[in-house]
């Protein structure tokens, strides 16, 4: 292994290089072969001044200062495609790319549209700029009443971490209500935090705002510690990733599962309830933070295959090669910026692939996706009849 201190590095480059070793497997960066697989597979690498491989070569040349003067790292959607193909197992997404965004943010070099999502997250505990008191308003009028832990005053088997978009986004609220229906149908003993829940903070962290992530995590940790529950489940792969892989280092340790993992365990009970909802051809999109970041590929497919009448077909890119919807790593709040730079929307590419399978339905398992893919389906040729549904909705429809 090469030495950690390299004499020709600028002080900033030296400090930055050193900080990369703090990430798990961080020292692997020393073994980079410059094969450029990372830059090639990156969905927006072709418009970056510094795709990941070139960032590493500038680092090695000791002139990383030039990289943070460019704004191209804001094209990174933290999709783990680069990590997936790296033959030397370098943690490019959580290490190099995220650290670079942190430096950009500290230097004040951030796109304005990202700024408001971060300010909202800080101020209201969600990036949408909604009132934190209205976090459980999606549940208004539902029967039976949605159990909120503060009022429930008893332990539950399952704490449902609802998340930002499932709580507030009108389209995703439909998925949230469908999940509520499903949990009740299965007789699960659960509760939610309601207004005591804050953003999981994962996408803010991956957009370079580590301090904000820690503040949000601490708030959630405090709320978790007030109640007794067996495990946490969530419909949001980003929240799942934060709770599973990032919160423990902050002392917030709870067992957590994505809903697909949780439901698959109840597959027999679900099958007994499913009547089907007609014949349909369905293709499934692997969300980056369920698939590549956490290797959950089978559970979503098992759920889909359990629904009578559904024929599951695969898109050209699936499982580890799945194409990002463009919402990760702050991409959710950088649509305008990324469009101006690239003239492309990643969700358009994905919807094109889905339409090519002749599927009736594009099934998803992440709250970022229904609004992104539905928008794309409106403009992509041949996709106007494509229906976008979360697996939860397909299950609830078939009850």
Closer CB to other proteins, residue 64 or residue 124? 124
Structure tokens at 277: 């909802």
Structure tokens at 387: 């229906």
Q: What angle do CA 64, 12, 117 make, to 5 degrees?
A: 80
Closer CB to other proteins, residue 109 or residue 184? 109
Q: Residue from 211, 219, 254, 357 that binds other proteins (CB under 8 A)?
A: 211
Cβ of residue 217: shortest distance to other proteins, in angstroms? 12
Q: Residue from 29, 81, 105, 162 that binds other proteins (CB under 8 A)?
A: 105
For residue 22, with 0-12 CB atoms within 10 Å meaning exposed, 13-18 middle and 19 or more buried, which class applies? exposed
Neighbours of 339 (CB within 10 A): 12
Report whether 145 contacts 361 (CB < 8 A). no
Closer CB to other proteins, residue 111 or residue 191? 111
Q: Residue from 8, 88, 133, 378 that binds other proteins (CB under 8 A)?
A: 133
- Residue whose tokens read 């290490």: 95
Cβ of residue 67: shortest distance to other proteins, in angstroms? 19
Cβ of residue 212: shortest distance to other proteins, in angstroms? 5
β-strand pairing of 229-234 with 280-284? unpaired
Cβ of residue 116: shortest distance to other proteins, in angstroms? 9
Cβ of residue 314: shortest distance to other proteins, in angstroms? 41
Give the binding range for other proteins (CB under 8 A) out of 4-12, 112-120, 272-280, 390-398: 112-120
Contact call for residue 200 and other proteins (CB under 8 A): no
Give the single-character DSSP code of 334. -
Residues within window 329-348 making contact with other proteins, judged by CB under 8 A? none
C-alpha gyration radius of the chain: 21
Neighbours of 313 (CB within 10 A): 13
Structure tokens at 1: 């292994």
Give the binding range for other proteins (CB under 8 A) out of 13-21, 108-116, 148-156, 290-298: 108-116
Here the contacts of 342-348 (C-beta below 8 Å, separation 24 or greater) are 342/44, 342/47, 342/75, 344/44, 345/376, 346/43, 346/44, 346/77, 347/372, 347/373, 347/375, 347/376, 348/376, 348/379, 348/380
Size of the site for other proteins (CB under 8 A): 21
Phi, psi of 155 (to 5 degrees): -65, 150
Contact call for residue 275 and other proteins (CB under 8 A): no
Q: Residue 388 pairs with which residues in a beta bridge? A: 362
Structure tokens at 395: 């299950």
Contact call for residue 112 and other proteins (CB under 8 A): yes
Q: Residue from 48, 83, 97, 118 that binds other proteins (CB under 8 A)?
A: 118
Closer CB to other proteins, residue 120 or residue 373? 120
Contact call for residue 131 and other proteins (CB under 8 A): yes
Q: Residue from 124, 224, 259, 349 that binds other proteins (CB under 8 A)?
A: 124
Q: Residue from 5, 7, 11, 108 that binds other proteins (CB under 8 A)?
A: 108
Give the binding range for other proteins (CB under 8 A) out of 90-98, 127-135, 272-280, 313-321: 127-135
Neighbours of 319 (CB within 10 A): 15
Q: Residue from 129, 248, 309, 336 that binds other proteins (CB under 8 A)?
A: 129
**How many DSSP H helices and E strands does the chain contain?**
19, 8
Which spans of this chain sit near other proteins (rule: CB under 8 A)? 105-106, 108, 110, 112, 114-115, 118-119, 122-124, 129-131, 133, 209-212, 215
């Amino acid at each position: 292994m090469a030495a950690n201190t390299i004499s020709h590095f600028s002080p900033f480059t030296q400090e930055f290089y050193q900080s990369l070793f703090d990430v798990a497997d961080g020292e692997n960066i020393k073994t980079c072969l410059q094969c450029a697989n990372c830059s090639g597979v990156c969905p927006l690498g072709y418009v970056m001044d510094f795709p990941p491989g070139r960032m590493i070569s500038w680092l090695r040349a000791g002139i990383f200062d030039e990289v943070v003067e460019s704004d191209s790292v804001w094209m990174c959607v933290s999709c783990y495609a680069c990590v997936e193909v790296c033959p030397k197992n370098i943690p490019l997404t959580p290490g190099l790319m995220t650290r670079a965004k942190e430096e950009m943010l500290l230097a004040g070099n951030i796109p304005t549209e990202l700024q408001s999502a971060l300010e909202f997250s800080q101020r209201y505990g969600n990036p949408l700029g909604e009132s934190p008191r209205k976090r459980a308003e999606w549940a208004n009028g539902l029967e039976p009443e949605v159990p909120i832990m503060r009022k429930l005053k008893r332990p539950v088997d399952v704490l449902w971490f609802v998340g930002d978009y499932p709580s507030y986004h009108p389209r995703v609220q439909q998925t949230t209500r469908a999940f509520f229906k499903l949990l009740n149908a299965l007789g699960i003993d659960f509760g939610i935090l309601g207004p005591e829940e804050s953003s999981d903070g994962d996408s803010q962290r991956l957009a370079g705002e580590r301090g904000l992530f820690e503040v949000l995590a601490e708030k959630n940790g405090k709320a978790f510690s007030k109640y007794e529950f067996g495990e946490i489940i969530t419909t949001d792969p980003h929240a799942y990733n934060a709770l599973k892989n990032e919160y423990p280092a902050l002392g917030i340790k709870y067992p957590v599962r994505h809903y697909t993992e949780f439901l698959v365990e109840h597959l027999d009970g679900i099958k007994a309830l499913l009547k089907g909802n007609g014949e349909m051809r369905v293709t499934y999109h692997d969300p980056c933070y369920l698939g590549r970041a956490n290797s959950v590929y089978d559970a979503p497919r098992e759920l889909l295959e359990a629904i009578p009448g559904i024929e599951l077909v695969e898109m050209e890119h699936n499982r580890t090669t799945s194409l990002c919807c463009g919402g990760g790593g702050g991409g959710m709040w950088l649509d305008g910026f990324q469009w101006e730079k690239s003239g492309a929307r990643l969700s358009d590419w994905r919807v094109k692939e889905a339409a090519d399978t002749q599927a009736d339905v594009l099934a998803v398992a992440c709250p970022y996706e229904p609004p992104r893919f539905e928008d794309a389906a409106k403009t992509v040729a041949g996709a106007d009849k494509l229906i976008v549904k979360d697996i939860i909705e397909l299950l609830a429809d078939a009850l």
